[in-house]
Structure 1
Amino acid sequence: MRVDKYLWCIRLYKTRSIATDACKKGHVKIEGTNLKPSREIYGNEEIIVRKNQINYKIKVLDIPQNRVGAKLVDLYRKDLTPKEEFEKTELLQYAKDYYRKKGIGRPTKKDRRDIDGYYEDNEE
């Protein structure tokens, strides 16, 4: 089975074209090498998929005939993704400060309070 079709069948991607694009962009790897979407996949291979800033590590257990239901996905793949990968994304969310680019919409209440506080401090 093709890699892009396999990733779509195990519900890692919503559509097959998105899975194909991910392969073309180099987000899907086996043993550190980028894959073409048409590469055949076999059992017991480990695939690394970069999606949403997380490197998912998936072991192929079996090849499905067609797209499977969400409850049956674990029959065809084993998720070997370390928990540290998920913790990194949580840290990234906390690390991002509140920031808006200049000229994007009206100020929020917090922005308005900060602006008013700045002017009041400078007038005295």
Structure 2
Amino acid sequence: MTRVDAWTWSVRLFKTRSAAATACRGGHVRINGVTAKPAQTVVPGDEVRVWAGGRERIVEVVQLLSKRVGPSVAATAMIDRSPPPPPKELFAAVPVRDRGAGRPTKRDRREMEKLRGQTPPTP
């Protein structure tokens, strides 16, 4: 049996083990539909859902790993059933200021906040 934080790190779903443990504590990792704690164990056949990098990854455990392995070995340790990532055209374009335009004015800042959907703080 292997801890879920160690397994998700070893199959390269997270960059570091501490990031995997933090995601577990934050409720971003589920095993068979139940929110997982970092020390919860996984067994072959479990479905692991991970919310990371702005998308959900759905993988099935095939092989238990506790040490980080290469990408080719990691690919054989899981079956990836994730939906394809959304196309980049769906993401809103981030407004870019011209180089050398200087610091945004109060008016510019309010327009940027309006685009982002943020409301200014009330005094």
TM-score (normalizing by structure 1): 0.71
Deviation at 1:91, TM superposition (A): 4.2
For the residues of structure 1 that align with 2:32 and 2:65, how far apart are their CA atoms? 22
Identity of aligned residues (%): 35
Alpha carbons of structure 1 residues 65 and 2: separation in structure 2 relative to 1, 3 Å: closer
Query: SS in structure 1 opposite 2:49?
Result: strand
Structure 1 stretches of 4+ moved >3 Å? none
Within the alignment, does 1:73 sit opposite 2:74 as a pair?
Answer: yes
Alpha carbons of structure 1 residues 65 and 97: separation in structure 2 relative to 1, 3 Å: closer
Listed as ranges, the gaps of 5+ residues in structure 1 are 112-124
Residue in 2 that maps onto 1:87: 86
Alpha carbons of structure 1 residues 28 and 65: separation in structure 2 relative to 1, 3 Å: closer
Q: Per-residue displacement from partner, 1:54-113 (whole Å, max 9, x unpaired)?
A: 010011011025211112111101110012xx116x2442x245267xxxx536xxx9xx
Name which one, 1 or 2, has greater alpha-carbon Rg.
Answer: 1
Q: Relative to structure 2, which stretch is displaced further, 14-23 or 27-36?
A: 27-36
Alpha carbons of structure 1 residues 15 and 98: separation in structure 2 relative to 1, 3 Å: same
Higher percent of residues as helix:
1
Residue in 2 that maps onto 1:49: 50
TM-score (normalizing by structure 2): 0.72
Query: SS in structure 2 opposite 1:87?
Result: coil
For the residues of structure 2 that align with 1:22 and 1:50, how far apart are their CA atoms? 8
TM alignment of 1:1-124, pairs within 5 A = 1-83=2-84, 86-87=85-86, 90-93=88-91, 95-98=92-95, 105-106=102-103
Alpha-carbon RMSD across the aligned residues, in angstroms, is 2.3
For the residues of structure 1 that align with 2:66 and 2:86, how far apart are their CA atoms? 34
Letter in 2 for 1:34: T
